[in-house]
């Protein structure tokens, strides 16, 4: 797919990752001249369940906002029927690679960041189910006052980004017929089909930290068969990390062992408790939340209070589908939620396979029709590249109606 252009907008540069059901590519957004990541369903994964999970992942991420998550932008359908969506491109390594040779004091901020984002998704009633090295990328950058009580502090730091919400689900009882996750990171209660809550993610975090600190895979013994491995995983008999690392901080080892407990009740009940425990033996004191994470809670709160407006927009959208389009003007004071309403509406229409064109008001351009300039430029380009399609009488009439509205 290298160098292919998707939807006349995204130029595929190279493949950067793959999973059980999808592939991820580095791409250039030709409209904005920015680098993004493009996640596309695999050609062999077209069952309705896989497609629904993929759509659900996009819808879920579109509703979440946190500095340790990737933002998603647009959802679309390829000519062959496969779904795709775009998201932030993260330049960095997985957490196992990125932490090689890292001191414990430099590792603690990454653990804290992971705990903050886990606390966030758990507060939404969600469980990730697939915390593992390849799903945590580490990018270098700067963040002001994030890891210190001193708000003016500014320093280069590592940023953890939690990826791949394809397995994410709500808290519920499993019947054992379907296990979410990757061995050996799956919590024992998930394997047993018991009631699962956020502590399952904390178990996975423990396995992740075990591997990072010892540079060895977490093992429960010498597995000779899959059935034996399952039995050993259920028992969760782990060799202590200090067996492989002579100078490992004792209290960090105790924290990891507690996370690896076979009994959820023995583990920490919340990710924030892990941060509080780290604060007891780290040289730094970490805030449970930063300005950026608090902003995420506020901006990703449940979409309520605009049901009437959204219902009206959806009704007009359905009318537009039948050739009766209208111009809608949304007004209100700054901060009242106009942008949030339109973002939500954009997500809904894109998932219904509609193309969305967006225009912006630029401060240095004050023409009376300036907001429509970008929209019509995109629309004209869209039509040019689909000239054969728009030769039909049906589409000619649609264009006539559209331009008549203006």
Cβ neighbours of residue 99 closer than 8 Å, sequence gap 6 or more: 107, 110, 138, 212
Asked if residue 205 and residue 67 are part of one domain, the reply reads no
Asked if residue 128 and residue 81 are part of one domain, the reply reads no
Asked which of 264, 299, 334 is the last residue of a domain, the reply is 299
Asked if residue 156 and residue 55 are part of one domain, the reply reads no
360 within some domain: no
pLDDT of residue 25: 96
Q: Which of 12, 5, 8, 44 is nearest to 26 (CA)?
A: 12
* Sign of the torsion angle spanned by Cα atoms 310, 29, 6, 66: negative
Contact 178, 130 (CB under 8 A): no
Which contacts qualify for 271-277: CB closer than 8 Å, 24 or more apart? Answer: 271/114, 271/115, 271/116, 271/118, 271/119, 271/122, 271/198, 271/201, 271/202, 271/205, 272/115, 272/119, 274/111, 274/115, 274/202, 274/205, 275/112, 275/115, 275/116, 277/251
The length of the chain is 406
177 within some domain: yes
List of E strands, 166-257? 169-170
Work out whether strand 72-77 and strand 10-18 pair parallel, antiparallel, or are unpaired.
Answer: unpaired
* Residue 383 to residues 117, 387, 402, Cα–Cα distance (Å): 42, 6, 13
Looking at the structure of the chain, the number of domains it has is 2
pLDDT of residue 19: 82
Asked if residue 111 and residue 23 are part of one domain, the reply reads no
Asked which of 58, 89, 120 is the last residue of a domain, the reply is 89
235 within some domain: yes
DSSP letter (8 states) at residue 220: S
39 is in an annotated binding site: yes
282 within some domain: yes
Taking the C-alpha atoms of residue 141 and residue 308, their distance in angstroms, rounded to an integer, is 42
Q: How far is CA 404 from the centre of its chain?
A: 41
Taking the C-alpha atoms of residue 186 and residue 127, their distance in angstroms, rounded to an integer, is 12
pLDDT of residue 144: 36
Asked if residue 63 and residue 119 are part of one domain, the reply reads no
Question: Facing residues of 169 across strands?
Answer: 127
Taking the C-alpha atoms of residue 69 and residue 177, their distance in angstroms, rounded to an integer, is 30
Taking the C-alpha atoms of residue 77 and residue 59, their distance in angstroms, rounded to an integer, is 15
* Residue 194 to residues 75, 177, 217, Cα–Cα distance (Å): 35, 11, 25
Taking the C-alpha atoms of residue 36 and residue 29, their distance in angstroms, rounded to an integer, is 7
345 within some domain: no
pLDDT in 10s for each residue of the chain, 406 residues: 667 999 889 999 999 998 888 999 999 999 889 999 999 999 887 788 889 889 999 999 998 999 999 999 999 999 888 999 999 999 999 999 999 999 999 999 999 999 999 999 999 999 999 999 999 999 987 543 334 444 444 455 899 999 988 777 655 544 544 567 888 898 888 888 888 999 999 999 999 999 999 998 765 555 455 566 566 665 545 678 898 988 899 999 999 999 999 899 999 999 999 999 999 999 999 999 999 898 877 766 555 556 777 777 778 777 777 777 777 878 777 656 677 677 777 777 776 667 777 776 666 666 767 767 777 777 777 776 666 665 655 555 455 555 555 5
Asked which of 28, 62, 89 is the last residue of a domain, the reply is 89
Asked if residue 283 and residue 143 are part of one domain, the reply reads yes
Asked if residue 203 and residue 254 are part of one domain, the reply reads yes
Q: Which of 62, 5, 67, 80 is nearest to 38 (CA)?
A: 5
Asked if residue 268 and residue 163 are part of one domain, the reply reads yes
Cβ neighbour number for residue 93 with a 10 Å cutoff: 16
Question: Facing residues of 57 across strands?
Answer: none
3-state secondary structure of 270: coil
366 within some domain: no
Taking the C-alpha atoms of residue 47 and residue 265, their distance in angstroms, rounded to an integer, is 38
Asked if residue 85 and residue 135 are part of one domain, the reply reads no
Asked if residue 235 and residue 163 are part of one domain, the reply reads yes
* CATH code for the domain of 60: 3.30.200.20
Asked if residue 140 and residue 24 are part of one domain, the reply reads no
CB-neighbour burial class of residue 389 (10 A; exposed 0-12, middle 13-18, buried 19+): exposed
321 within some domain: no
Q: Which range of residues forms the domain containing residue 193? A: 93-299
152 within some domain: yes
Taking the C-alpha atoms of residue 138 and residue 68, their distance in angstroms, rounded to an integer, is 10
Asked if residue 212 and residue 242 are part of one domain, the reply reads yes
* CATH code for the domain of 116: 1.10.510.10
pLDDT of residue 13: 96
CB-neighbour burial class of residue 346 (10 A; exposed 0-12, middle 13-18, buried 19+): middle
């Amino acid at each position: 797919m290298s160098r292919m252009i998707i939807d006349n907008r995204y130029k595929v540069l190279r493949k950067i990752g793959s999973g059980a059901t999808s592939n991820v590519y580095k791409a250039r957004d030709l409209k904005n001249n920015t680098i993004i990541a493009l996640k596309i369903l695999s050609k062999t994964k077209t069952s309705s369940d896989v497609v629904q999970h993929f759509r659900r992942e996009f819808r879920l991420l579109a509703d979440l906002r946190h500095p340790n998550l990737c933002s998603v932008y647009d959802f679309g359908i390829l000519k062959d029927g496969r779904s795709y969506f775009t998201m932030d491109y993260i330049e960095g390594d997985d957490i196992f690679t990125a932490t090689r040779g890292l001191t414990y004091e430099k590792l603690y901020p990454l653990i804290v960041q992971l705990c903050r984002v886990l606390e966030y998704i758990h507060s939404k009633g969600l469980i990730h189910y697939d915390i593992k090295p390849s799903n945590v990328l580490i990018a270098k950058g700067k963040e002001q006052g994030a890891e210190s009580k001193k708000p003016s502090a500014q320093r280069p730091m590592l940023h953890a980004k939690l990826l791949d919400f394809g397995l994410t689900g709500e808290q519920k009882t499993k019947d054992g017929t379907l296990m979410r996750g990757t061995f050996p990171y799956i919590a024992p209660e998930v394997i047993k089909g018991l009631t699962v809550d956020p502590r399952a993610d904390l178990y996975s975090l423990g396995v992740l930290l075990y591997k990072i600190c010892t540079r060895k895979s977490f093992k429960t013994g010498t597995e000779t068969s899959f059935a034996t491995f399952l039995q050993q995983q259920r028992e969760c008999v782990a060799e202590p990390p200090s067996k492989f690392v002579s100078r490992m901080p004792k209290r960090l080892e105790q924290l990891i062992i507690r996370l690896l407990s076979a009994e959820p009740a023995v583990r920490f009940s919340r990710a924030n408790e892990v941060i509080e425990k780290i604060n007891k033996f780290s040289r730094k004191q970490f805030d449970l939340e930063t300005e950026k994470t608090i902003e995420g809670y506020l901006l990703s709160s449940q979409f309520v209070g605009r049901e009437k407006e959204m219902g009206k927009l959806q009704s007009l959208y359905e009318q537009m589908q039948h050739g009766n389009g209208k111009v809608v003007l949304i007004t209100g004071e700054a901060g009242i939620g106009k942008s949030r309403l339109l973002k939500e509406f954009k997500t809904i229409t894109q998932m219904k396979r509609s193309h969305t064109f967006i225009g912006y008001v630029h401060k240095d351009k004050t023409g009376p029709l300036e907001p429509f300039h970008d929209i019509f430029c995109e629309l004209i380009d869209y039509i040019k590249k689909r000239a054969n399609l728009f030769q039909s009488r049906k589409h000619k009439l649609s264009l006539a109606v559209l331009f008549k509205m203006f």
